[in-house]
Amino acid sequence: MSGPDPLRGDAKHPRISPDEIGAWVVEEDGDYLVFDKPGWVVCHPSKDGPWSSLVGAVREWRGMTAAHLVSRLDRETSGVILIAKHPAAASLAQTAMERRWVRKTYLALLEGELAEPTLVDQPLGPDEASEVAVRTAVRAGGSPASTFLEPLHRGGGFTLARVQPHTGRKHQIRAHALWLGHPVVGDKLYGRDPSLYLEFAREGWTARHARQLALPRQALHAARLDFVAPSLQRTFQAPLAADLRGFVHTRMGLDAPSLDALLAREALR
């Protein structure tokens, strides 16, 4: 059964076309390629061949022997991805990441209307009660994790939020949003029914997904990477993805000029 997303967000094993990857580049210099990754693209190479991942596709597209992935996103998260062209640039950026000389800013659509800015400071660890091995949950004895969520617009029972993770735990934003009672819209794994994740893994997009999920993918977008390292002070950005913009217009009642003004005011384009 085919899903509603023409951009392959509902496909289990989508492939990148050589004709489209160039349109995703938002910035390039001698050191880095900066991409605006769509929400259906896998970052890391997979067994399905080079055109099944961003890194593999970049290598083929540019004829590179290596493409160094500095930042990564889950497949269904869209936005800024930084790939270094050579080892020295990769080392510089990765060191900044490791030393937390990088500020990450996301835009997320949340279920429910978040009333006020909120700091979630809750430890995260493996969700031992879940059938899904990769799932993370708030739990005693977990690793320290902190996420700041700020509502930018509320409407239609949803919230457009700026999200800034202060730590880098696996699935941190999504797990903290669920704990807060405002899961990310379209999230199969950290939504209100995680069995949708297992069903998608087995069967792809189904009628039950269409009934229960407001979007075919998790509504999370990496909007900015701010490097503030002594030797690397750069900002990389990606505009809010078209499918999330459409949701804000149609389901939350914010027209395009108003959304653009809001994002410009927040320095998020």
Positions marked catalytic? 74
- Coil, strand or helix at 121: strand
Residue among 236, 192, 181, 238 at smallest CA distance from 214: 192
Using DSSP, state whether 171 is helix, strand or coil: coil
User: Going along the chain, which residue ranges are E strands?
Assistant: 25-28, 32-37, 68-69, 78-84, 102-111, 118-121, 124-126, 136-138, 146-155, 158-165, 220-229, 232-237
- Separation between Cα atoms, residue 235 and residue 228, nearest integer Å: 9
Rounded distance, CA 39 to CA 243, Å? 9
Other CB atoms within 10 Å distance of the CB of residue 259: 19
